[in-house]
Structure 1
Amino acid sequence: MANNHEEDTEWNDILRAKGIIPQKENQITEADIIDMMDEAIAKRNARNYEEKTVDELDELLDENNEEEERMLMEYRQQRLNAIKQELSEDKFGEIQHIYKTDFVREVSEASKDVWVVAYLYKDSLPICKLMSAHLATVAARNKSTKFVKIIGDQCIPNYPDRNLPTLLIYGEGDVKAQLVGASQLGGLNMKPSDIEAYLRRVGAIKKPESQSKASEETKQSSIRSSATAALSDDDEYESDDY
């Protein structure tokens, strides 16, 4: 009687171990099929959930079992967080005029959630007129940062005109930096880009994506150059040994 090499017998196991007959091909079990189906369904559901709005996800919550409801709630929360993030990034864009009684709420308290730039000024000063115009441009470009303005001696009694304009930079509920006067920005020659450069240095506004990318590319280029130089030095050292 001929031996069936496909049978699961002790003799066939010995022959396979010695390489006399080929190894038996792996068979897919029913459990494997169920696992693959579950994975495919999960991936399909994930794609479908990502394409739905918050209202559509709410409707589905009433139609699914406990596990599917958990997944729906997770996707719903992710969508809400994404919407909240988008709104917060374009929340401002203008300079808000405030009074002394507003300062704690609009600056100190507000800075626990966002960066706040408080601008102390006086309309009659030419340097303040220039700063006001440029700061309006900066605020429009950086809508995730809050900009407020308040007349200098209304904010701080007897605050001298020689200290104007003054920028108070708030973050995490406290003063992070302050700029007294405009000499560091170029005085009457300052430009909006000078103000932005200062605010970036103190962390009050974000770097443009293009600038961040260029900075990363410069960093990578520097690393490659250093590595190349190190290899060249090693080659010269080895050459000197012979």
Structure 2
Amino acid sequence: MQDPNADTEWNDILRARGILPPRPGPTEEEIADEMDRAIAAAQDRHLEEKQLDELDELEDEEDERVLMEYRRMRIAEMKAQAMREKYGEVIHISKPEFVKEVSEASKDDWVVVHLYRDDIPHCRLVNSYLNTLSKKYKSTKFVKIIGDQCIPNYPDKNLPTLLVYGEGDIRAQVVGLAQLGGDRGGIEGE
């Protein structure tokens, strides 16, 4: 016996006479699959009709579109990086500038404060390291202030002192050179 659901001329005659029930319509999935096949076939025919130089031109246009998108993304990344890298040097501040230059600035960026005195050799050493670091980490603000100008009666034995501020608050402090490795300390990667 033949399959009554088969799409044959004989079954069509039997359906026309009412012997077989009408053939069920296609499902949405079958319609979607057929549409996908038709679109793919049309695109293939469209590409088959193209000459080699036309295909090369289409490929070049696609390459150019991808390169333009990559270029746009890269420019956006570079602009964002330039916005973050706004410092690059150690700034000398005074007590009246402290709130603006440290407390307020640290709400947006990390701020490293060096409490120092010029006549202390370890302070000069830390200043030179901070100059190097400020050029490498331009998104971090580096400032220096004379110790007893920042904190009245701050003892010289605690110099050099580093204070690290972030999110408007002090996050770390290093008092004296011993915590930094003493005289033998240095910047890694130099």
Q: The TM-score by the shorter chain falls in which range? A: 0.5 to 0.7
Match of 1:29 in 2: 35
Alignment match, 2:150? 155
Q: Cα offset for 1:162?
A: 0.6
2: distance between equivalents of 1:145 and 1:189? Answer: 25
> 1:57 aligns to what?
none
- What TM-score, normalized to structure 1? 0.51
Q: Residues 142 and 129 of structure 1: is their aligned pair in 2 closer, same or farther, counting only changes over 3 Å?
A: same
1:38-61 CA-to-partner distances (Å, cap 9, x unmatched) read xxxxxx7x84872676xxxxxxxx
TM score, norm. by length of structure 2: 0.63
Matched, 1:180 2:175: yes
Query: Any idea what SS the aligned residue of 2:144 has?
Result: strand
CA contact (8 A) 1:116 1:171 kept: yes
**1:184-226 alpha-carbon deviations (Å, 9 max, x no partner):** 11222221239xxxxxxxxxxxxxxxxxxxxxxxxxxxxxxxx
Which amino acid is 2:8 matched to?
N
Given that 1:139 and 1:147 are in contact with CA atoms closer than 8 Å, whether structure 2 keeps it comes out as yes
The equivalences for 1:143-222 within 5 A come to 143-193=138-188
Give CA-to-partner distance per residue, 1:21-42, whole Å, 9 cap, x none: xxx9986339x85xxx9xxxxx
Q: 1:175 to 1:4 in 2, by over 3 A?
A: farther
Task: Provide the rounded CA distance (Å) in 1 between the counterparts of 2:182 and 2:93.
Answer: 25
State the one-letter code of the partner of 2:122: I
1:217 corresponding residue in structure 2 = none
User: CA 1:29–1:94 in structure 2 vs 1: closer, same or farther (change >3 Å)?
Assistant: same
Return the alpha-carbon distance in structure 2 between the equivalents of residues 104 and 110 of structure 1. 8
The 8 Å contact of residues 89 and 144 in structure 1, kept in 2 or not, is answered as: yes
Q: Which runs of 5+ in 2 are unaligned?
A: 1-6, 25-29, 44-61
Paired residue type of 2:34:
I
SS where residue 28 of structure 1 aligns?
A: helix
SS in 2 for 1:108: helix
Q: Cα RMSD between the aligned structures?
A: 3.9
Report the count of equivalent residues. Answer: 150
Q: Structure 2 vs 1, CA of residues 124 and 48 (structure 1 numbering), >3 Å: closer, same or farther?
A: closer
**Bigger relative contact order, structure 1 or 2 (CA pairs below 8 A, ≥6 apart):** 2
Task: Flag the 1:135–1:26 CA change in 2: closer, same or farther, 3 A.
Answer: closer
Partner of 1:167, secondary structure, is strand
8 Å CA contact retained: 1:135, 1:192: no
CA distance in 2, matches of 1:118, 1:4: 91
**Structure 1 segment 20-59 matched on structure 2, within 5 A:** 28-29=34-35, 33=39, 47=66, 50=69
Structure showing the higher helix proportion among its residues: 1
Q: Which has the larger radius of gyration?
A: 2
